[in-house]
Structures are given as C-alpha cells and as structure tokens.
Amino acid sequence: MSDNNLIIESSSQIKQFDSTSSVMWAVSLCLLPAGVWGVWVFGLKVLGVLFASILSAVVAEAAMAFLLKKNTLKDGSAFLTGLLIGFNMPPSIPYYIPVVASVFAIVVVKWTFGGLGGNFMNPALAGRVFVFFSWTGPMTKWTMPKTLETFDAITNATPLGHLKSGLLEYTGIVDRPARFLAETGYPHTKMDSGITTWLNTNMGLDLSHGYIDMFLGNIPGSLGEVSVALLLLGSIYLFIRKIITWEIPVSYIASFGILIWIFGGTRYSGGSYFNGDVLFHLFTGGLILGALYMATDIVTSPTTRKGMIIFGIGAGILTFLIRIYGSFPEGVSLAIILMNIFVPMIEQYTQPKRFGVQLKREGK
Amino acid sequence: MKGLKTFNRGGVHPPGRKYLSENKPIKNAVISDLSVIALSQHLGSPSESIVNPGDIVREGMLIGKSTGFISGNIHSPVPGTVKEISDIYLPNGMTSKAIVIEMEGEFDRLGKETIETNWEHLSGKELIEIINSNGIVGLGGATFPANVKFTLPRGKKAEYLVINGVECEPYLTADHRLMLEKADQIIEGIKIIASIIKPEKLAIGIEINKENAIKIIKEAALRADLPLDVVSLKVKYPQGDEKQLLKAVTGREVPSGALPMEIACVVSNVGTVNAIYEAVVLGKPLIERVITVSGGAIKNPQNLKVRIGTPIKSLIEECGGFTEEPAKVVVGGPMMGFAIYDLDTPVTKGTSGILALTSKEVRGASQTACVSCGRCIAACPMGLNPTTLFKYIDHTEYENAESIGLMDCKECGSCGYVCLARIPLIQGMRLGKRMLRTKKVKA
C-alpha cells in the first residue's frame, strides 16, 4: 500500500513523555534509596528478601502473560509489585513468605481480574496482608537496625509495637508515645541524641529522643518503610515529574495527622484532647511509604481529583482508627486496601462536571 | 502571567515548538504543475463538478458548485486544462472526488495589480452572497461555510463577534504571521463581518506567546478606529476551540449540543477574516491559504502561501525536504491533525499545516491496558470522562457513551496526548460518534 514507513494513527499525533512503563520504572527508581538504606541497616540478608519477592513477582507475571498470550513484562508493574512486597517484609522473614505474597499478588489479585489495570486492589498490599494473616509470627518478628545499639531484650519491637504492648503493662503516667518510648528505655542512636539536644537547646524545642531516628530510619520495621527521609527524597522526583500528584498523599497525611492530633493523646493516662503525637505517627508504621507510594497506585485509586481527595481522607481515617483503637499497631495496609474497595463507589459520585451542561438544565 | 484569561476546565500544555517558524515571513509557494482539487473540502455535502476532462479553466474560475445549504463553492487555483476527475484520499482518510488540473496558460490575478472595491454601501445579504460565491469556509479547521455561519437564525441577535487568533496547536504559526503581516486587512475584514451580523461587542483572543501580534492588532484597530477588545490569553491547549475561547473571552458557556449562537456569540478565525477581506475587497475566491510547514524532520520550516490542490510532497521539497526520516507526516496541527502516508495528498481549504515529526517528537510507546490514572479526565476541557467513554465504545455500548456526553467530545486530542497507556482514545470517540449517527439515520 505504501512505500514508506510513516506511522498512521489517530490524533493526537504527539504524546506527552510518560507512558505506563516509564511511570512504573520511575516509581521503582525512586524507591531505590530507601531500599539501599534497608539493605545497609538490616544486612545483606535483606537483599535476598527483595530478590525473592521481585523475582517471584516477575516470574508469576511472565507465566500468566504466557498463559494468556499477552506481552506485559515490559510495563514494569510486576517488578514494582515485587519491590513493594519486599519493602513491606520484616528483614528476617524466611524467603518463602515474600514468594507466596508475590505470587498471590500477581496471580490472584491482579490476573484474575485481567492483569494490570483490571485489579481493584493494590496487589502488593493485598499480598502483604495475605501473608500477614497467614504467618503472623514471622511477619511481626523484627530486627534491630545495625545503627541502633541494642542493650536489652525488649528492643526487638517496632516503636508502634512497643507502644501498643508496652502500654498494657505500664502503670506510670504518660501523655505522648515518644516520651513513653524514651522513658521505658527504647534505644536511640548517638546521632539522635546529638541532634535532639542541639534542636532543644538552640531552636527552643522540647523534643523527646527518638524522632530523628524514626525520621532517618534507625528503627526496626519493614525493610523499606523505615527511612522516612529517603522515601520523601525519592518522592520529590515523582512530584516534579507529576507522576504522583498532591491529592492523595496530602489528604491522607493531613486527615490522619489531624485525627491523631485531636484524639491520639486520649489513649494515654496523662493525655488529653488536642495533644496527639503527630510526628511520631507520621514517622512510623510505614505511613509515608503507604501514603506516597502505595495509596497513590494509579490503578487502584480514584481517577478524579475530588475522588482522590475523598480516597485519601478515607485512608487517613481508617489508618487512624486501626492504629489508635484497633489491635494492630500499624494499619496502613489495611486502610488502603479497604479504601481500594470503596473506589468504584467514590467514582460514581465524583464524576467531572461537564462543560455546558448545567446551563442547559437551567435553560429548560 | 497573572490576570490573563483562559478557560477553566481541563487543558494541556504540549511543547509549542513555534520558534521553528514564527519568525519566517509568509512566502508564496511555488505553484505545482499538477493541482488536485478535492470536491469535498468543507463541512457539509460535497460540491458538484461543473467541468469535464479536457476543459480549459482560468485562475479563480468556479469549477465546483455548492450543492446545498451547507456546502461550498470551489474555484480553480490555477489556469490550465482539466486532466481528469479522479477519486482521492483526503488527509482524514475519507475519499473524495477531485478535479485534477494541469497548469498552463496565463494567470488572471497572479502578478496583476489588484483593485480595491468599496464595500461599505453593500447590504449584509449582498456581502453574504459574495462570501458564498467565493467559497469562503472557516479556515480554523472545521471548514464550516462562512456564509452559513454569518446568516443568523431568524430572531437571533449577535452580542459578541469574537475573532480567533489563538492558534493553540503546537508548531502552527500561519495565523500568527497573518496577524503580523496583514493586520490592517484583518481589521477591515472584521468590519465587514460586523456590518453583516451587527454585534454589540468586538473582541479578538490571542495567546500571550504571540505578544507582537497582540501589539500590532491593537495598533491596527486604533488606526482604523475600530472598538476591538484585544484579549490576551494564557497559553493552554485547546484555547482555540470556539467553546473554550468564548469561555475565556466572554465567560459564557455554550450549552452542550448547541452552537455559539445560543449564547449570542459568533466566532471567526483570523485566517477566515483575511479570506473574507480578500473576497469582498479584492474579489478573490478562496484559492490559496497560508500554511505552516514545520516539524523536527523538516530542513527549513516556513510559512507558505499555498494554492489549494498543491500536493504536500512539493511543499516539503520547497522547505528543503527531510533532514531525517520522519516517523509521521501530519496534515494539520499535531493535536488534531491527521497522519498521512501518501505524500501526494493535496492541500485543501482546511489544511493549516504540514508537519514532519521525528520519533522523538511523537514519543510513541507500546499500548497497555488502561491503568486508570485519570489524566484524561483532568485534561478534558469538556469535563468528560474519556476512559469510561472509551470502555463503553469498546464494548459497543454506544448509548451509554452518549448518556455521559460522547457527543460533546470535539476530538481536541487532549486525552490522547496525556494517555499513559497510549490508548487511541480519539479514534474510539470518532467511532462511537459515527455509530450513533448511523444508528440515528437508520431509526
């Protein structure tokens, strides 16, 4: 028909830079610093966990794509799912658990609904929740980062875990979680002491020890969630590239933070309303990883701006409820996948306002 | 940038790349030996050929007659002999009959002195007849017959005449150059239209990336003592769509499914205004237009005054040919234009540009399933949900698509531009609309 190689397709004839695969790879790239931190503080074994979760996710994707005669490996979504599952694993996890999580995520959560784009639930989080309830023991066994000097037995708990279990036995008066941690001998690094003391003396603050460790990632936790600083750093690039937009992270973090501030303090013997420890809760339990990288999953979050804000607020409320009143210390994973289920309903009520339609009704 | 007007919903910011040609003055293109004049180059029913193979035609002679209320007259762009009447593909992939003319003999207008006629004593009806007989159609892209547009429905009054100098499509600079070089003619053309439709207010919308044009048009209006409101607009695509332009300039929203007349507005493109000036004052039919030949693969991008019917190939050659093998050759702008494979496709009245784009400019990627990122929804200037529309159309649920506003889609390409999954959204919209129309015709 033609003697040239000109591409014929429908308009628009030019496209913006990003594509499905470029977005997936960019998110993976931005998670890299936090992953490297995990490997550094929890040891090389962690690399094995990441390797197991990524490889099994990619192999599961390849197998499903082969069975269904599709070509989806290049889109990078399976790699990202595997990476996120790895990030949500305790460092000392036996390798078969992330493998099960990845295969469950790819085969059951994603491909039974038609593969990328069809799934209604975040595959990585659903995979994590699946293995969490299947192997609760290993999934809640934590390792101290090597930056933290360990000197007694209680220390193998995450700050949130320590808080939840420790409070049951504690009889003294306590108003804020970080203070409780500091008073019950939760360890902190020398760097934390140094910076906290400096801030308290020079900036007129009254910080307890531990915040700096939580921010930098010198606490036990899932291997990719601990370094809030590096997760934030990676997200800057995603915000600049507009791969993630402000709606979900901001509404999630803001609604969660406000609720913690109002009600977070009421759970302690010496606490009161409007005295919650917002920073403590933002820096722990994978909240930043969840709000920036998992709640913002384009497939399983709403498509309109209004919908995204409702979704974020819902996730913030649920995380708050689970974390403060529930029996689980963290709550981020459950909150996000619960909100994933609400997405179709949110979408129904947040369709865009059509141009010229209001006027037509008024005219009638 | 504060204080500039724009439309309020959706829109995208593709790279403009107008610098490739915006400083190149309009140049007369070499006239091709062979002209192919499509009989369907306007909105509405095709014209009817009134010449036969072997006939001798003169420059500017009527060769295709308007066949209905919404149709257009077509004139020979060159003197010569009618070689044949053949079937051709138009840039949009549709077929059309076309008159092929081999150039020979003397030009009646080209190189001759032009005589300006005084039009001020003419009535609106007479002016509309001149516009009709000279085959003027909207040159902004829709090619809607201008005489129909300016014939206001009985009992309707035009409050606003808004001239469209936006040229929001990337790369295209033809309207920009026209405003710079033909400001006085455009002002005169606005006066002609104003005397037909008698609007209360006159405005022209120009995007701020054409600051020199804003200044020159302002000065020309002042010289001619025309109360023209020159509105500077933010750069945002698709600002040049008449609904978005009216929203930006007047604050009014054209109701869904209605024409601008519904809100007492008439919109006309600067190119059309210039053509009306030439028809009324110089007695010249629409046989040539200004187009931009540009793109990363064009050696020497230019703005050319081109005879209708010129094969695209000869214009590309005139601009130095290709610097590298283009990924696409596009007729029109990159957002709404059509990719073509046959470079013998001729220029029609609606051709605003010819672009040879490199693969780097096109930025293709492999198509994936929709990932529900919502970018198309944020981009749609009509407040539609393109991804849901596409899914309905894909499942042949055309009525459902219609119920959420498919017919409001103007195929501006904003959704397709931002789609991560590279889904051919506009193709889907076109298919859905066509299916709905054919169903309605059958019913």
Spatial separation of the C-alpha atoms in residues B337 and A14, rounded to whole Å: 10
What's the confidence (pLDDT) of residue B440? Answer: 83
In this structure, how many other beta carbons lie within 10 angstroms of the beta carbon of residue B235?
18
Which of A1, A13, A245, A297 is the best substitution to test chain B (most B C-beta atoms within 10 A)?
A13
Rounded to the nearest angstrom, the minimum Cα separation between A28 and chain B is 17
Tell me, yes or no, whether A135 and A183 share the same domain. Answer: no
Tell me, yes or no, whether A115 and A230 share the same domain. Answer: no
Residue A261 belongs to a domain: yes
- The strand pair at B338-340 and B265-269 is best described as unpaired
Domain that holds residue A85: 20-139
Spatial separation of the C-alpha atoms in residues A313 and B226, rounded to whole Å: 55
Tell me, yes or no, whether A28 and A161 share the same domain. Answer: no
Amino acid at A314: G
**3-class secondary-structure state, position B84:** strand
Tell me, yes or no, whether A99 and A164 share the same domain. Answer: no
Tell me, yes or no, whether A96 and A174 share the same domain. Answer: no
Q: Which residue of A has its CA nearest to B259?
A: A356
What are the residue boundaries of the structural domains of chain B, listed by start?
27-112+285-361, 115-282, 375-442
- The strand pair at B160-164 and B201-207 is best described as parallel
Instruction: Tell whether B417 is within 8 A of chain A (Cβ).
Output: yes
Residue A329 belongs to a domain: yes
Instruction: Tell whether B411 is within 8 A of chain A (Cβ).
Output: yes
Q: What is B201-227 written as a DSSP string? A: EEEEEEEGGGHHHHHHHHHHHHHTT--
Spans of chain B, pLDDT less than 70: 1-2
- The strand pair at B288-294 and B48-49 is best described as unpaired
Residue A53 belongs to a domain: yes
Residue A356 belongs to a domain: no
Question: What CATH number labels B115-282?
Answer: 3.40.50.11540
**3-class secondary-structure state, position B364:** coil
What's the confidence (pLDDT) of residue A58? Answer: 97
With 0-12 / 13-18 / 19 or more C-beta atoms within 10 angstroms meaning exposed / middle / buried, residue A168 is exposed
State in Å, rounded, how far the first CA of chain B is from the last one. Answer: 51
* Cis geometry, peptide bond prior to residue B238 (ω within 30 degrees of 0): yes
Average pLDDT for chain B: 94
What's the confidence (pLDDT) of residue A153? Answer: 45
Residue among B167, B141, B241, B140 nearest B16 (CA): B167
For B126-144, write each residue's pLDDT tens digit: 999 999 999 999 998 889 9
B253 vs A contacts (CB less than 8 Å): 355-356, 358-359
- Class of CATH domain B27-112+285-361: alpha beta
Tell which of A117, A139, A161 closes a domain. Answer: A139
Cα–chain center distance at B82: 28
Element (H, E) at B56: strand B56-57
Instruction: Tell whether B361 is within 8 A of chain A (Cβ).
Output: yes
Structure tokens given for B50: 């009134």
Which of A11, A20, A304 shows the shortest C-beta gap to B416? A11
What's the confidence (pLDDT) of residue B109? Answer: 83
Residue A169 belongs to a domain: yes
**3-class secondary-structure state, position B338:** strand
Residue A1 belongs to a domain: no
Tell me, yes or no, whether A216 and A181 share the same domain. Answer: yes
For residue B294, list its beta bridge partners: B355
Instruction: Tell whether B404 is within 8 A of chain A (Cβ).
Output: yes
Instruction: Tell whether B435 is within 8 A of chain A (Cβ).
Output: no
Residue A145 belongs to a domain: no
Tell me, yes or no, whether A342 and A255 share the same domain. Answer: yes
Spatial separation of the C-alpha atoms in residues B330 and B295, rounded to whole Å: 9
CB contact set of B25 (below 8 Å; sequence gap of 6+): B177, B181, B303
Residue among B205, B203, B138 nearest B165 (CA): B205
Rounded to the nearest angstrom, the minimum Cα separation between B125 and chain A is 31
Tell me, yes or no, whether A135 and A166 share the same domain. Answer: no
Structure tokens given for A120: 């209604």
Contact A14 B365 (CB under 8 A): no
With 0-12 / 13-18 / 19 or more C-beta atoms within 10 angstroms meaning exposed / middle / buried, residue A213 is buried
**Angle at the Cα of A27 from the Cα atoms of A23 and A30, rounded to 5 degrees:** 140
Tell me, yes or no, whether A73 and A117 share the same domain. Answer: yes
Spatial separation of the C-alpha atoms in residues A298 and A247, rounded to whole Å: 12
Q: Are A264 and A178 in contact (CB under 8 A)?
A: no
Residue among B246, B146, B237, B137 nearest B193 (CA): B146
Which of A14, A304, A353 shows the shortest C-beta gap to B363? A14
Structure tokens given for A152: 């007694």
Spatial separation of the C-alpha atoms in residues B331 and B294, rounded to whole Å: 11
Which of B358, B377, B420, B433 is the best substitution to test chain A (most A C-beta atoms within 10 A)?
B420
For B352-411, write each residue's pLDDT tens digit: 999 999 999 999 888 999 999 999 999 999 999 999 999 999 999 999 999 999 999 999
Tell me, yes or no, whether A112 and A194 share the same domain. Answer: no
Q: How many interface pairs between A and B have CB atoms less than 8 angstroms apart?
A: 186
Tell me, yes or no, whether A261 and A130 share the same domain. Answer: no
Spatial separation of the C-alpha atoms in residues B74 and A161, rounded to whole Å: 81
Q: What are the phi and psi torsion angles at B199 (to 5°)? A: -80, 160
Q: Are A206 and A73 in contact (CB under 8 A)?
A: no
| Structure ipTM | 0.91
What's the confidence (pLDDT) of residue A154? Answer: 46
Residue A336 belongs to a domain: yes
CB contact set of A44 (below 8 Å; sequence gap of 6+): none
Domain count, chain A: 2
Strand order in the sheet with B74-75: B48-49, B62-65, B74-75
What's the confidence (pLDDT) of residue A150? Answer: 62
DSSP annotation of B311 reads B
Spans of chain A, pLDDT less than 70: 1-3, 149-155, 359-364
Spatial separation of the C-alpha atoms in residues A157 and A333, rounded to whole Å: 19
